[in-house]
Structure formats: structure tokens, C-alpha cells
Amino acid sequence: MVQGTCCIIAGAFGFLVSGKDPKTSATGNYGILDQQVALLWVQQNIALFGGDPSKVTMFGESAGAQSVSLHLMVQSSKPLFKQAVFQSLPFSIPLKTRHDALKLGRDFARQANCSVSDIVCLLSLSPQAVLAAQMKSSSKVVNPFRFLEIFETWGPYVDGELIKEQAVTAFQKGHWQKEKPVLLGTTSEEGVIFVYGVFTKPVSAVECTVYTAAIFKQHALRILHKYLPLYKDIDRRDMLAQIVTDYVFLCPSRKAARAGTKVGSAVWMYVFDHVISDHSVWSGLSFCYEHVCHGAELPFLFNTASMANFTLAPPERLLSNRMLCYWGHSPTPGTRPHGCNRAASVDSSACRPGPATRTPAPGWS
């Protein structure tokens, strides 16, 4: 198995929008285009490292999963990979419209002391100036009717050309590369890290109701009717965390998986619900010690735990081996990856990546 890592150009560097004309303005979505170039490089060079360009799996977690989902919608990305894995894709955090992306761009330009129409001024900004303006504008809720956008101020937007619609809409309508196998899933407690990270003190039932109403508007009563009876503690942060898990991650993932299977696509779904034994994974986020927080599956994939000096118990190493096989296989509809349902029989050397190769391909440095 050959593993490669492609990082996205984040923030304003990759997603600033200042106008429509690419010759005279920043048109955004550069981060996605940059990933396309990286995928093309993989196609042209992976064989030099022992890989097969016809069997490329594109996978990502959280915002990375969002990128993968978009490449499944973008036709120009179609020949660049064979199958996809979405880990904890925040389907319910909407991509900005062109109007909202431009509104954020105007605020960024104002913070940078540039006119939004002055591309020369914007291009002359130092990296430090870009980061400073980005930080000042990142706290803004551009569209008050899309409160969840605050969790991803800078990101891809629906430009009508490269990205034509929301990912969850594309899956519902079948506007994606349906012939490609897809594995998608979530952790069982995605929302804990977000809710406890924001609310460091207990949240009362009244406060919980207010926050729920702010997010769900006219649907709040139906949401509260379902969740309030399930939580009796004075502190309702666990309730908020479950709402975030269900609304942002789990329910839309199930909806997308069902839509895929209805049209005959090879789609599988998982829920990762194991509490990792090594608490140092969470870098002091003690509220995750006994929960399966966002990102909990990452130490189990591609030898990440050992590279980061985390310790996996023997049963956890078997779980890791099984996951590596599922992530690395190319199944077809109605089948499971051969051997991966028997963790004890998995040869970890077959699934685990070898030593990292630092030698560049010919012609690259």
C-alpha cells in the first residue's frame, strides 16, 4: 500500500472570493483546484513508488472528507481516483453561496485595507497580513440564517461551475460519480469536542433550548420534543452534543448512504464507537477521555498511533488492522473486503504502510 498526503490550501489563501472574473479578481475554490493538481501528480507518479494509478482511494476526515465529497461531484476530478472514503463529513454545514462568499471577501478586504475590487492590493498582501485579516473576518456569521457556517468560515463555495450544489443535495439527486465505491461514517459522539470546547461551563435546560432554537429556527420544537425527555441532568451539554452529532454528521451520512444504495452504488457505512485507551491522544481535552470524539478513529489508521507515540492495546491493534483492510480494499456492491471481518487473521504487514519514502520522483524536487 502506498499512502500519500495532500493538504488543502486553507483559509483566505485557498478560498478568498473578490469577484467573478479570474483575470481581475480572486474567484475562490483554489484549495479544491490545488488538490486536483496533487491527484494528477499521484496519477503520473504513483507507479514509481510501487502503486497502481488505477486503484487510487481518496480519503479524508472532517474538512478533508468534505473535499473528497466535492471531488466526487466535480467531473474534472473523475479520472483521478477510483474510490472514496468520507470520515466524519459535516454534511449539514452548508457551503457558502457566491453572494455570501463575496460578502466575506469584502469584509476581508476591508480588514486588509484594500478595496475588494483592487486585485493588485490583495495580491501584494504579505502572508502575515492575509492571516491577520482572515482572523478578524473569521468571527463573522455572514448569513444569520446559516448559523453553522461559523464552524467553517473559510471553505469551498457553490460557484455554479466547479461546484454546482451542496454535497448532500448532490447525493440525493444522484449528481455524483455513482460508479465509484464509497465508504462513509462517523464516530458515535462527534459533537462532544465541539460542544464542550465552546461551552466550558454547564448548560442549563433553558440555555439548551435557546441554543437549539437559534440553530433550528421553526424546527426547534420538534427537535426538543425528541431530545429533552432523554436527558435529565442539570447540565445539558451531553444533549447538545448528541444533537450536533446527529444533525451535522450522522443523519445526513445515513441519508447519503441510502441515496447511494438506491441507485445501485457500492456504498458502505460505519459508526466508530470505541473509546481509545491512551488518553494522551486528546492532548489534555479531558472531556474526550471517556467519549468517542470527533477524530477518535484517526490513531487507528495507517500506523498513525505509533508515529505519534500513542499506545494501542493488543485488541486495539487488531481493530486497527481490520480498519486498514477496509480502507485499503476495492469492494464491489454486495460484498465485503476479503478477510477483514476476521481481525485475528489479518496480517498487519500487508495492511500497514512501509517506511515513508522521501525520495522525489524524477523531475521533481
Report whether pLDDT(142) > 70: no
pLDDT at 227 > cutoff 50 = yes
Q: What letters, b where the CB count within 10 A reaches 16 and e where it falls short, cover 185-221?
A: bbbbbbbbbbbbeebeeebebeebbebbeebbeeebe
**Predicted local distance difference test score (pLDDT) of residue 246:** 96
Which residue in 7, 77, 81, 86 sits closest to 51, CA to CA? 81
Q: Is the pLDDT of residue 106 over 90?
A: yes
Active site residues per annotation: 62, 190, 294
> What is the residue type of 52?
D
Percent with pLDDT over 70 in the chain: 88
- Residue 363 banded pLDDT, cuts 50, 70, 90: very low
Q: What is the pLDDT of residues 149-207, one digit of tens each?
A: 777 889 999 999 999 999 999 999 999 999 999 999 999 999 999 999 999 999 999 99
| Topology adopted by domain 1-180 | Rossmann fold (3.40.50)
Residue-wise pLDDT tens digits, 293-347: 999 999 999 888 888 888 999 999 999 999 988 888 766 656 665 557 654 433 4
Measured distance CA(143)–CA(147) in Å, rounded: 7
* In the chain, where the domains are located: 1-180
Report field, pTM of the whole predicted structure over 0.85: yes
Contact 52, 151 (CB under 8 A): no
Q: With CA atoms as reference, report the closest residue to 296 among 271, 324, 314.
A: 271
> Would you state the pLDDT for residue 358?
36
Confidence of residue 7 (pLDDT cuts 50, 70, 90): confident
Q: What is the pLDDT of residues 246-264, one digit of tens each?
A: 999 999 999 999 999 999 8
Contact 133, 112 (CB under 8 A): yes
Residue 6, judged by CB atoms within 10 A of its CB (0-12, 13-18, 19+), counts as: middle
Helix axes 220-227, 237-244, angle to 10 degrees: 120
Please report the sign of the dihedral spanned by the C-alpha atoms of residue 148, residue 149, residue 153, residue 156: positive
